[in-house]
Structure 1
Amino acid sequence: MDKNTLVGFVLIGAVLIGFTFLQRPSEKQLIAQKHFQDSIQALAKKDTANKAKAAAFTDSVAAQAVDTAGTFYNAAKGTESFTTIENDLVKLTFSNKGGRVYSAMLKKYNGQDKKPLVLFDKEDVSMNFFFYNKKEKIETKDYYFQAVNKSDSSVTMRLAASNDSYIDFTYTMHKGNYMVDFSIKANGMLDKLSPSVNYVDIEWNQKLRQAERGYKNEGRYAYLMYKYDGADTDHLSEAKNADASITGRLKWIGYKTQYFSSVFIADQDFEKNVLKSSLETEGSGYLKNYSSTMTTYFDAKGSKATNMHFYFGPNHYKTLKAFDAGKDDANKLELDKLVPLGWSFLRWINKVFTINVFDWLTGLGLSMGWVLFFMTVIVKAVIFYFTFKSYMSSARMRVLKPQIDLINQKYPKKEDALKKQQETMSLYSKYGVSPMSGCLPMVLQMPIVIALFMFVPSAIELRQQSFLWADDLSTFDAFIQWNQHIPFVGNHISLFCLLMSLANILNTKYTMNQQDTGQQQMPGMKAMMYVMPIMFIFILNDYASGLNYYYLLSTLISIITMVVLKKVVSDDKILAKLEAYKSSDKPKKKTGLMAKMADMQEQQERMAKERDRLKAERLKRGK
């Protein structure tokens, strides 16, 4: 940079500094400027405040306009209060918020705390109804109802638009009955509701409380159930989260546990049904979480009421069956399907035989332990004919064992298996013995055995009834418990289950000894016969102790029966009868399964000969 350029920059800087100094405002000018800025800021703050007030006023006016335009604006505010009605069986509490059932308590049954059992309470349940007009959707959960026309067993919850316009929810209970009548009726609402909308939408949610000691066992019988109008019942899965959209008409929807149910019934049926079921965590105090949305008839003109019903009570077969008394098939509710008695023929056995015998024994004043004892004896007596037939079939084959052993010695090689089988079947035919004749009696008695398996866990009479060391026959009897959960076992060992399994092992050993006919069995078959009794420990450990007690009694009676038959029925007499049959002139006719087996053996023999012939021809051509 040269000297002239440097001098130029210095002069420019001096000019700028001098200009800035000369343009600086005086002290009076600074005070005036500050006052002006403060005034501007004050005006800005005032303007902002005015705008906020204006917005608030606008919102208030708008809100007031919406509120005053609402059909039930007078019911939009209030304080929640409760109303109680009851009969000799059920106590119901209603909330004025939504006009809904708030709590249900059953007087004749106790919870695990030994106090009257509460099906649901407070936030366990919610019910919301949707009504419509041209401007709004009215949800009853947002409004406060008035309790009017109250008596000990009935109440009307009224949602009022005015003194002359309202919707009534009327609940009526009856003495000695778990059913609650429920009706919805409009009055003077023609100009406030859409007359073209002839339905009401409903939302119903409930968390099912765990009422029994065994979460897993109770959960098996807890599921959302529903009945089609004029058809059968169905249910969502009890083992996993599930949902279903049902376009067909439903007569009722039921939220059931093992022994109790909440059922919602519509005289005009439910339509557009969406049902959901989800599992609750063990230890939460709940089993399942159910929800349903549906639609049913509603007359906004008020000329006809919407009639529905609630059932809050036990899953007791005869109590539920009584609701269908005198009704034709088309109008039957079939609430008795809430009691799982098995399918088709099994359910018929339980309805006709098991329940009536059980009620008869209960009516004698016996404790539930003795009721199960005598019931087992009666069942064993009923199926004794089949048991005897099965035993005699095994006994006939057993007394022929020495001759079967000779046949086995005659054909020791594997390639002679077909000849050995043919000679064995020929021997049985000569003596009039069928190896399969003992199977049919066993098959015929199985339906009764399986029917009892379905009935005992469903018998609410066993609930909280003690016997011997079991304090509750409706759940497991844990004589050993621990804190950690072990897969397939849980956190306890049930004594009745353990004794039942040991009794079955003993029965298996004794039966196999009695049925030793000399015929060769498949490798490992004997070992397999002991697997099932051992598996009982893992399968039935958390089932009802009453069920394991029944199976223990049944097994012990079976062992005693076999021992007595062994003493009474002489093997020598059986053999003498067989020899007499063999020596008689009666034709030894092959019938039934024996004939089919003989035909199969002959066919196998022909096929074997054909294979040998073809093989010989191939060898001959090869040479």
Structure 2
Amino acid sequence: MDRNTFTGLFLIMIVLAGSFYFFGPSQTEITKEKERIAADSLKKVNAATKTTAPSIAAATPAVDSATLSGPFGGSITGTPQTTVLENENLKLTLTNKGGKILSVQVKGVKTYNGNPVILFDGDQNKFGLKMNINGKTLNTDDLYFTPTVADNKVSMRATYQGDKYIEYTYDLKPKSNNVAFNISLNGLNQVIQTDSISLNWSATLLEQEKSAKKEKEHSAPFYKYTNASPDHLSVAKDQTEELKKGKVEWFSFKQQFFSAVLISKDGFESGRLAITDSTKPGEIKRYDADMKMHFGQSASQSYAMDFYFGTNKFDRLKAQGHEIEKLVDMGYWPLKYINRFIVLPVFKFLEGFGWNYGLIILILTILLKLAMSPLTYKSYISMAKMRILKPEMDEIKAKVGEDNPTLLQQEYLKLYKQVGVNPLGGCLPMLLQLPFVMAFFFFFPNLFELRGESFLWMKDLSTYDDFIKFGVTIPFIGDHLSLMCVLMTISTLIYTYFNNQISGATGQMKYIGYIMPIIFLGVLNSYPSGLNYYYFLANMLTFAQQFLIKSMVDDEKIHRTLQENKTKPAETKKKSKFQSRLDDYMRSQQQAATQAKKK
């Protein structure tokens, strides 16, 4: 404890002690109050005796604390006690203070440090109803409930008076991650003065993964309106969102690989969600939810809900229904469709063989490269044509000069037209492959299956491998160096070198390709080793593809074909869409040049 904290606590103790001494009731006042309570109790007992006519002794037990202390009198004070609900998947600790779930442990998984996965725990977790009773706001999180346990079901009841009460029921089925939750309000229509009540839930989610920074980047509250797609708050900043566009079907406190979801059978009328970043060690973010529920005039009213506590495994979330699987970020359009309907099914198919996940990623990469091989071949041929044409392009450049770039470009276009070459032919196939490359950028960091899975020196494919630890934070790099990220960067630099040899790139374009891998080193150094491993494999397989294609392609034959195209009459050449656009462009350029000369 530091000096300032100690001084503050000492002053607070002095203030509290002074308050008790100077403002507390005197001994005379205390004695009078006790006598008054005893007299009131005796009157009530005598009245009960006259009505039932057994005896004073028989009537004495009928006096309850609610009658003596007012509404919820028996629930205002108490001693915190806990009750455990447990099955093969979950361990729930419930407390009579607020009648809520105090903590949730997800079984069968561990934190990165090997500890049990506790989603939330302790007094920082608030849960209860907020309602207006007789003109005063009551929060049930402050009441003490009476628990009843039977057949892995717990009922928590707080009595207002007589047969008027609030009851929570928690039902945990075997081998389930779902907790059926029901709220019953009996007889409170006579005292609740509004047509709605609020359900408040606040929780501080605890750190589970190796990198708290990356875990925060994948953590946010989600929600879903009825007949709408799920949405979420910001993962990068504190935010409060008012949910007033319709009924809220469910909301979720989501972390990178785990979630707590509350689904309402009838939907919440409206609500508010908030997220606050936590700077305390071991904590990720603070989530707050305030959901409005309709309150009618019937004597007995209930609200059926369902909790889900567990992993963000796509299949398990999908089994919940309500589009909860969209908690798993598959990327933007069209990346999410590539991941969901192509990459994920192939991955799950390979997973069925029981192979190591490093081997699964290898096979997945090979299959993707085979599917993309026609585009790779077309890109190679196009770049080879441009390389073979480079000597002729250099001659044109020497003849025209660099002072007239428009004329130089026109001469280049004439050459392309004569030989039948599309200068963009090498880029377009690569652009078509780009969505698949980017799709994996979202797929691997959000794939629960990789969590805790090791391969080679990588202990966990879902996070970075800190092969070298610096002990200090270095700008751009961080506090470590990932070996797989380094290998990926080296392979990308080598790929760029050979790609320049194929395409014949010169000038600035030749060096720009070397800058990007260095930038990616800083960006991807803290990303999952499984992602860097995939990019490394993709580069190595591309080398193999290009080597194979090079052995199949004859540059002399391509050169002869290009020269033969020059001798063919223009009318015999079948025009491509690019050549048609090229002709249109050249005509427009010539017309512009002619008009410029006339002026």
User: Common fold, TM-score beyond 0.5?
Assistant: yes
Matched with 1:80 is 80
- Mapped pair 1:495 → 2:493: no
Note the C-alpha offset of 1:55.
Answer: 5.5
Contact 1:298–1:305 (CA under 8 A) maintained in structure 2: no
Correspondence for 1:107: 107
1:444-467 alpha-carbon deviations (Å, 9 max, x no partner): 222211111111111111101111
8 Å CA contact retained: 1:268, 1:297: no
- 1:556 aligns with 540
AA aligned opposite 2:103: S
Partner secondary structure for residue 516 of structure 2? helix
Contact 1:481–1:492 (8 Å) recurs in 2? yes
Could you tell me how far apart the structure 1 residues matched to 2:421 and 2:332 are?
36
- 1:377 alignment partner AA: I
Alignment of 1:210-225 (within 5 A): 210-225=207-222
Alignment of 1:198-597 (within 5 A): 198-248=195-245, 249-281=247-279, 284-298=281-295, 301-324=298-321, 333-415=322-404, 417-516=405-504, 524-584=508-568, 587-597=572-582
Q: What amino acid is aligned across from residue 379 of structure 1 in structure 2?
A: L
**Which whole-Å CA distance do the structure 1 matches of 2:229 and 2:410 have between them?**
51
Measured after TM superposition, the shift of residue 589 of structure 1 is 4.9
Q: Structure 1 counterpart of 2:275, which letter? A: S
Is contact 1:474-1:545 (8 Å) kept?
A: yes
Cα deviation for residue 124 of structure 1 reads 4.1
- Aligned with 1:611 (options 586, 596, 599): 596
Cα deviation for residue 126 of structure 1 reads 1.5
Following superposition, the deviation at residue 494 of structure 1 comes to 0.8
Q: What is the aligned residue count?
A: 548
Q: CA deviation at 1:362?
A: 1.2
1:351-407 alpha-carbon deviations (Å, 9 max, x no partner): 111111111111111111111111111111111111111111112222233332332
Aligned residue for 1:343, secondary structure, equals: coil
Q: Is the 8 A contact 2:196 2:292 kept in 1?
A: yes
Compute the displacement of 1:582 (Å). Answer: 4.2
Instruction: Tell me what 1:161 maps to.
Output: 160
The 1:212/1:238 distance shift into structure 2, 3 A limit, reads same
Contact 1:299–1:306 at 8 Å: present in 2 too?
no
Alignment of 1:21-40 (within 5 A): none
SS in 2 for 1:391: helix
Q: In percent, how many aligned pairs have the same letter?
A: 34
Please state how far the C-alpha of 1:587 moved relative to its aligned partner: 2.4
Shift of residue 584 of structure 1?
Answer: 4.5
Distance 1:582 1:371 in 2: 49
Structure 1 residue 581: deviation in Å?
4.1
Aligned letter for 1:295?
Answer: K
Secondary structure of 2:123's aligned partner: helix
2-structure distance, mates of 1:441, 1:175: 52
* Cα deviation, residue 604, structure 1: 3.3
Query: Which consecutive unaligned segments of at least 5 residues does structure 2 have?
Result: 1-21, 41-64
Q: Where do 5+ consecutive residues of structure 1 fail to align? A: 1-47, 325-332, 615-623
Aligned-residue offset at 1:262: 0.9
Match of 2:12 in 1: none
**Further displaced range: 303-312 or 250-259:** 303-312
SS of residue paired to 1:383 = helix
- CA offsets 1:397-426 (integer angstroms, 9 cap, x no match): 2223333233223223422x3333223222
Q: SS of 2:319's equivalent?
A: helix
Aligned to 1:19: none
Distance 2:299 2:324 in 1: 30
SS in 2 for 1:225: strand
Deviation at 1:240, TM superposition (A): 1.4
Structure 1: distance between partners of 2:401 and 2:203: 70
Tell me the amino acid that sits aligned with residue 212 of structure 1: E
TM-score by length of 1: 0.82
Change (3 A) 1:144 1:300: farther
Partners of 1:267 and 1:308 within 8 A in 2: yes
What is the identity, as a one-letter code, of the residue corresponding to 2:160?
A
CA-CA distance at 1:206 after TM superposition:
1.0
Q: Please state how far the C-alpha of 1:69 moved relative to its aligned partner.
A: 5.5
> Residue 187 of structure 2 contacts residue 300 of structure 2 at CA under 8 Å; is this kept in 1?
no
C-alpha contact 2:482 2:526 (8 A) present in aligned 1: yes
Separation (CA, whole Å) in 2 of partners of 1:590 and 1:605: 20
Amino acid aligned to 2:251 = I
1:187 and 2:186 equivalent? yes
Q: CA offsets per residue over residues 481-536 of structure 1, 9 Å max, x none? A: 1222222221111111111111111111110110017xxx6x53322221110001
- Indicate if the aligned counterparts of 2:248 and 2:270 stay in contact, CA closer than 8 A: no
1:123 equivalent to 2:123? Answer yes
> 1:439: Cα distance to partner?
2.4
The answer on whether the counterparts of 2:186 and 2:301 sit within 8 Å (CA) in structure 1 is no
Deviation string 1:182-212 (CA, Å, 9 cap, x unpaired) is: 1111234454x33x63432122111111110
The separation in 2 between residues aligned to 1:598 and 1:484, in whole angstroms, is 60
SS at match of 1:161: strand
Instruction: Identify if the C-alpha distance between structure 1 residues 396 and 164 changes in structure 2 by more than 3 Å, giving closer, same or farther.
Output: same
In the TM superposition, residue 298 of structure 1 has moved relative to its aligned partner by 4.2
Residue 37 of structure 1: aligned partner: none
Asked if 2 retains the 8 angstrom alpha-carbon contact of 1:227 and 1:251, the reply is yes
How far apart, CA to CA, are the structure 1 residues paired with 2:485 and 2:243?
Answer: 41
- Distance in 2 of aligned mates of 1:74 and 1:124: 24
Deviation string, structure 1 residues 300-358 (Cα, Å, up to 9, x no partner) = 6354420111111111111111122xxxxxxxx11011000012322111111111111
- Preserved CA contact (<8 Å) 1:106 1:313: yes
Cα distance in 1 for residues equivalent to 2:471 and 2:67: 57
Q: In structure 2, how many angstroms separate the alpha carbons of the residues matched to 1:279 and 1:374?
A: 39
3-state DSSP class of the match of 1:309? Answer: strand
Whose Rg is larger? 1
